[in-house]
Amino acid sequence: MCGRYTLTNANRLAPHFRLGDPARAADLPRRYNIAPTQPVAAVFRERGRHQLLMMRWGLVPAWMKPDEGNRLPAGWFNARAETLNEKPAFKGAYRHRRCLIPADGFYEWPRRGGAKVKGAAPHLIRPADDGLMAFAGVFEWWSSPDGSELPTCAVVTTTPNALMAGLHDRMPVILQPEDHARWTDMRPENDPCDLLRPAPDGTLYATEVSPRVGNVRHDDPACLAPAPPRERQGGLFDER
């Protein structure tokens, strides 16, 4: 699962993803606690170039009707890699609308038997080089009752690598830079299903952080601060 993540260096997006319009990334604010239903930066291919577009995190299929009061449904913020090409909510997006979701870290809470470990501190997982990463994503256009269209997206998840297996039974699919163009290449003959795998061991590290990140109203540098010693869970993931 991926339910919270960070994007604190948006100024690096344009060169990293070779954006066709670099100016779109210049004014993105630093985000320390991005949560589902919020607008997120996504990169997709248009006219042969990567473009940046803000999308709502929580994929809503075009065929889904509004909730009571014509509200936008919550949608799905994660999509399982194993059923991505089968589930009605995702198969059309996988075949026709794949995107990259930039991040420089994501949070996870330790789980045992599918349930959160009581009192355990959340962990911030980052690339070993502290650079940018790209989650594999899929997106849809949802038409609201007033006729306007809203892009919505989901992060694709897969089984954990060695690091994440100590925390959770799922992790986001993290695409290597050399695979970005292939993931967003929507030609029918291109099926990038082989990219839906765990990140290689040694490419990520994890640090325990303060429980304040559990509150979506907290979106500041303090979310990245290491957990106080009394809240640490033995230091298993504190070393690179």
Range of the domain at 166: 4-107+132-199
pLDDT at position 232 over 70: no
The tens digit of pLDDT for each residue in 171-217 reads: 999 999 999 999 999 999 999 999 999 999 999 999 999 999 999 99
Mean pLDDT of the chain: 90
Is 149 part of the annotated catalytic residue set?
no
Name every residue whose Cβ is closer than 8 Å to that of residue 42 and which is 6 or more positions away in sequence: 52, 53, 54, 55, 99, 100, 101, 102, 137, 139, 151, 153
Report strand pairing: 78-80 vs 171-172.
Answer: unpaired
Q: What percent of the chain is predicted at pLDDT more than 90?
A: 72
Kindly state whether residue 124 falls inside one of the protein's structural domains: no
Whether residue 21 is contained in a domain is answered as: yes
- Annotation marks residue 2 as catalytic: yes
Which one is catalytic: 108, 140, 153, 223?
108
Looking up residue 138, the CATH number of its domain turns out to be: 3.90.1680.10
Our count of domains for the chain comes to: 1
- The one catalytic residue in 2, 99, 153, 223 is 2
- pLDDT of 116 over the 80 cut: no
